[in-house]
Structures are given as C-alpha cells and as structure tokens.
Amino acid sequence: MENKVIIVDYQLGNLFSVKQACEYLGFKAIISSNAGDLLNADFVILPGVGAFADAMNNLHEFGLAEGIRKYTASGKPFMGVCLGLQLLLSESEEFGKTKGLGIIPGVVRKFDVQKIGNNTLKVPQIQWNTIDETSKNIWQHTPLGCCKPGDYMYFVHSLYAEPADQVTILAQTIYGKKKYCSAILHKNVFATQFHPEKSGLHGVDIYREWFNLNRK
C-alpha cells in the first residue's frame, strides 16, 4: 500500500520545494490544511518560513495545532523544517513571547548581535553552513546517517532553537561565535533548522533516509 505523505499548509511555508523533494524520491505528497488529513497520514512534514506568532495563529485558525499534537502523540514519523522545527518548542521570544506547540520543551531565541573584527554579523543568517555531530557517531541509524560531520546545508533564519533537554539535539552549527542546535530528534519527531530540500543531493538524501527508516 502506498504511504500517505502530508505536507502541512498553514499559509507560511516552503511547500512546493518540499513536495518536489518527496516526489523526486517516489512519494506522492499531498499539501493540506485539513487536520483530519494529518491523522490519516503515514508521514507528516511541517515546513515553514516567516514569523513564529503568525505561524501559530494560522495553525490554531486551521485547527492544525491540535492535529499536529495528536499526530506526533500517535508515534508516527513527523518532520519539521526551519520554522517547522521552531514551532515544536514551548515558546519563542520573537517580537515578545509566543507559545509554541509544546511538543519539545525549550525556547526559540534571537541571535545576539555579533562583532567579528570590524564587521557586524548579519541576521538573518542566509548562507550555506556546516552541520556537526553533538557526539561521535550519534547520527548512526538516524535521518542524518547519510551525512558526515562538516557537510554544508542551506540556512535562512534569525532565531534558533534551544531545547531544554540537550539529548534531543542531533546536530549543531556555529554562526559567528554562537554554537546552536541545527537538528532535533525526539522519539518519532525529527526536525532541521536548515532546508534539506534546498541543500542539494545531501539534503535530498536526508529525506530519503527519513522515509527509509520509517516506511512500513
């Protein structure tokens, strides 16, 4: 039976490039804003680009916030991308405090202003940057098992996730002098701060690995 892949549409997302990555790998992905579709899915992907508060407002308006919580509680595979990672945490400090989905305890924080020599580091970070393991061989048997430490991925973000439990941090990245969480793995929930679908073949391989680890 064909696996059902749902890409969550809450009017703030990088939906079509994610859909293209799924279809390149042979999966038929459906873009949906219907919470009922999530509960019947085999895989759910939550992409996102934009403001945290706007995203949470839209998720609540479409009834998707509770749908995502119920889906992740079912134990089925869930993947967040960029803002989709940040929304999983308890709250964000962007434009004041906003409550998140609360699936992973933690806070989304702003990058501090960083001076590197005579230059001020730009925020948002819009560039290719490396991902690294938090401990040796931690990526084995995870969706990052196809990667090696130091691989480059594509990032676009002004804030970063700070999970309460360090054990959930699967990958880390350094921007200026700040080392931060760039991927999370918590039970059936996997999420990346970078955009795998915009990171060339390395990124597509992450989707492939995630599907292969979780397909029926």
Helices (H), the chain: 15-24, 35-39, 52-61, 64-73, 83-86, 200-214
Which of 22, 147, 186, 195 is labelled catalytic?
Answer: 195
CA 170, chain centre distance (Å): 12
Residues 6+ apart with CB under 8 A from 117: none
CA 84, chain centre distance (Å): 5
195 has catalytic annotation = yes
Which of 22, 147, 186, 197 is labelled catalytic?
Answer: 197
Type of residue numbered 108: V
22 has catalytic annotation = no
Tokens coding 51: 């403001």
**Residue found by looking up tokens 């701060």 in the block:** 193
82 has catalytic annotation = yes
Which of 82, 146, 147, 181 is labelled catalytic?
Answer: 82
Catalytic residues: 82, 195, 197
